[in-house]
Amino acid sequence: MSRTTRLGIALLTGIVATLSFAAQAQQTRYPGPRELPNPYRLAESWPTIPASMNGGHWGEVIRVNVARDGNIWVFHRCFNTVPPGHATCINRGAANPPILEFDPSGKLLKSFGAELFAYPHGFTVDQDGNLWVSDVNDETTVLGMSAKNAAGVVRGQEVMKLSPNGQILMTLGKEGVSGNGPDTFDRPTGIAVAPNGDVFVTDGHLPNMHNNGRVLKFSKDGRFIKSWGKRGSAPGDFDEPHDIFLGGTQNLIYVADRRNQRIQVFDQDGKFIAAWKQFGEPSSVFVGKDDTIYVGAAFADPTVKKGQLRGIVVGNAKDGSLKAFIPDPADPDKLDVGTTASGIGADAAGNIYAADVAAHNLRKYIKVR
């Protein structure tokens, strides 16, 4: 057999294999949310909010995170509900702190953060117990109130690293300054921290002045390393990357690429691995140590109110397969602007925690079967 013939056969074999793989991928059918089981029950009256805080009632809750010690941290909009969908923390005062820590029973342990934020959004807890938070405010005044801090700088457009007691340890970005360079953000939405301390930030909550849609990577001391992605729909690009998580046994990065209606998966160098459409329109994403992925999502459904079926999708973070769906208990007709399960987390026992902007709530689900 000649060398040319061998090359031709090898090329043909490769083409056939590629076409076979593509056909197989196209044939993959994922069950819709209504076809999935719901092995979870809602924990009633969890957690306990002191009556001194807004009469014991939530406002817009944006993120929830379970720390290594099992305590649950909540980032919320100072028990406020206006403007709807992006309630402000401006002038809410010390009685309405945006950061709360609860023990697993739901008892409030700690609260702080008053006057630090205008528009709370991204939040995570690193392996050392430090908090990483973002403020997506880009307005000089909100509801007629100045967004400037005591130093006269407009709050927002930054990521802060805080100690577990609320001390500012580091700042990424420039407070009050929007941009698309290595040292500025335009409405940074989420933060993830790697085991080695590298920090990943999703940037580009809509609308934003610079049309951003990207992920930025920094070293643990805040040095810019790289960024990837732009506003778009191609693999590796983003249209409102709303949340980011780094985890699972492979320590991969998962991005809730909301307007593109997909979860995108990358390695820590930004190499594209997968884009999963079966999780609906995601607003939040979390991956457990057992490679279970939890996504707060919405699905187009003309048979339900307002045309969206909302809930939490549970699946496998390695292959994208689906395991369960928890329907949102809120009545869509009673919701203000915003999403439900805008933030999501889970503990070692598989209990799920969901932060609701639109429903003004924090939910806990317990696995029952």
Cα distances from 297 to residues 256, 281, 313, 331, in angstroms, run 9, 5, 7, 16
- Is residue 1 pLDDT above 80, yes or no? no
Q: What is the pLDDT of residues 120-148, one digit of tens each?
A: 999 999 999 999 999 999 999 999 999 99
The pLDDT, as a whole number, for residue 2 is: 53
**Average pLDDT for 270-280:** 98
**Average pLDDT for 1-13:** 46
Q: Give CB contacts under 8 A, 24+ apart, made by 274-281.
A: 274/320, 275/235, 276/320, 278/30, 278/315, 278/320, 278/322, 279/313, 279/315, 279/320, 279/322, 280/33, 280/313
- Is residue 218 pLDDT above 50, yes or no? yes
The pLDDT, as a whole number, for residue 336 is: 83
Q: Is 18 helix (H, G, I), strand (E, B) or coil?
A: helix
Q: Give the residue with greater pLDDT, 129 vs 1.
A: 129
Q: What is the pLDDT of residues 43-97, one digit of tens each?
A: 999 999 999 999 999 999 999 999 999 999 999 999 999 999 999 999 999 999 9
**Average pLDDT for 220-231:** 98
Q: Are 125 and 143 in contact (CB under 8 A)?
A: no
Alpha-helix residue ranges (DSSP H) falling in 139-238: none
Please, what is the average pLDDT of the chain? 93
**Burial of 166 from C-beta contacts in 10 A (0-12 / 13-18 / 19+):** middle
% the chain with pLDDT above 70: 92
Task: State the pLDDT confidence band at 367, using cuts at 50, 70 and 90.
Answer: very high
- Is residue 8 pLDDT above 50, yes or no? no
**Average pLDDT for 331-360:** 95
Q: What are phi and psi of 125, to 5 degrees?
A: -120, 125
- Is residue 19 pLDDT above 70, yes or no? no
**Which residues fall within 8 angstroms of residue 316, CB to CB, at 6 or more apart?**
291, 292, 293, 322, 323
- Is residue 25 pLDDT above 80, yes or no? no
Q: Determine which of 100-109, 144-153, 228-237, 329-338 has the lowest per-residue pLDDT on average.
A: 329-338
% the chain with pLDDT above 90: 91
- Is residue 349 pLDDT above 60, yes or no? yes
The pLDDT, as a whole number, for residue 18 is: 39
- Cis omega (within 30 of 0) for bond into 47: yes
- Is residue 7 pLDDT above 60, yes or no? no
**Start-to-end C-alpha separation, the chain:** 61
The pLDDT, as a whole number, for residue 350 is: 95
What distance in Å separates the CA atoms of residue 61 and residue 70, rounded to the nearest whole number?
20
- Is residue 24 pLDDT above 80, yes or no? no
Backbone region of residue 106 per phi and psi (left: phi > 0; alpha: psi in -120 to 50; beta: other values): left
Mark 259-285 as b/e (b = at least 16 C-beta within 10 Å): bbbbbbbbebebeeeebbebbbbbbbb
